[in-house]
Structure 1
């Protein structure tokens, strides 16, 4: 299996890449800072085109859209500059779409699967206030994934959207509920179970359907 993982230089993305490699799969990771196999700012069309050229003709069995930012963590309502909104949506939403768009020929060649990392914070059932940008961008990523699932089903491409859990990473913080290994093990089971029968699903890392 050939797996492409965005944001593979740390946290969940790095751990997924290591686990898939250990299982003998071919893995290509991307990172904005150049610390993975491919340097990719997911919001940069030129870098997306360069990645597509590099992978031209290679089927991609699984694309994991993991790259993302949480720039407004801990910010108060009066500290939300417009640029923070633009940067966050560029990475968390536009970047997902551009990555799928860039690798669509590769995914079609494999009848591949797409896994999009969203968050329980995208759900209308979890709206306690705060983190406005992150919540809104992850809700948009969820909506994007649902619509991609509808459009790509005819191509044989399944799309799943996932909440990885509140994970002890740089983004999740030390107070989070679960360790990276637990999240990754659950996510890999979800990706394995993704098919055209459940395309468009929004699930937690441990297999529970999540309310939209």
Structure 2
């Protein structure tokens, strides 16, 4: 099977890529810095077009939209500059959509699956304050995934949205609840069970339904 993973050069993306390769799957990883097979800044439409051209005719069984940024960690209400909002949404929301859009022919050919990594911080049931940009962008990614699930059901393409856990990565910090390996193992299990029956789901890394 052929899997495409954005942001596959470190953290969860790299761990997922490693696992799928060990399982014998064909993995296409992307990274904006050129450290994966495909150079892709998910905010750049031209790079999406180049990726689509390079993968033309190759069905994609699973697209994992993992690339993301968390630029506003620790900001107070006097922070959050407008440019940070624009950059974060360009990566965390528009970047997801552009990736899906670029690979739609490949996904339709395989009747594949799309996994979008959002966050529990997207849920309206969790509002402890702070991290306004990250929370808002991940909520938008969750909404995007839910609507894609509706529109792509007729093509046989299932879409799942996932909270990967508070993971000990550069983004999550050393104080995270779980390791990268725990997150990756849990997510692999979640992606395996994603189907048209569960399309539109919002789940945690360990299989619990998450409130929207």
TM-score (norm 1): 1.00
Superposed displacement of residue 77, structure 1: 1.0
What is the aligned partner in structure 1 of residue 66 from structure 2?
A: 66
Distance 2:85 2:138 in 1: 12
Mapped pair 1:137 → 2:131: no
Moved segments of 4+, more than 4 Å: none
* 1:121-160 to 2 correspondences below 5 Å: 121-160=121-160
**For structure 2, which runs of at least 5 residues remain unmatched after alignment?**
none
Distance 1:35 1:127 in 2: 36
> Number of residue pairs matched?
212
Superposed displacement of residue 87, structure 1: 0.1
Distance 2:156 2:91 in 1: 26
Distance 2:172 2:27 in 1: 25
Aligned-pair RMSD on alpha carbons? 0.4
Please state whether the residue corresponding to 1:43 is helix, strand or coil.
coil
Distance 2:190 2:176 in 1: 21
What is the aligned partner in structure 2 of residue 91 from structure 1?
A: 91
Distance 1:75 1:33 in 2: 26
What is the aligned partner in structure 2 of residue 166 from structure 1?
A: 166
Distance 2:199 2:56 in 1: 26
Distance 1:198 1:111 in 2: 15
Distance 2:79 2:155 in 1: 44
Mapped pair 1:201 → 2:209: no
Distance 1:2 1:201 in 2: 22
What is the aligned partner in structure 2 of residue 51 from structure 1?
A: 51
TM-score (norm 2): 1.00
What is the aligned partner in structure 2 of residue 120 from structure 1?
A: 120
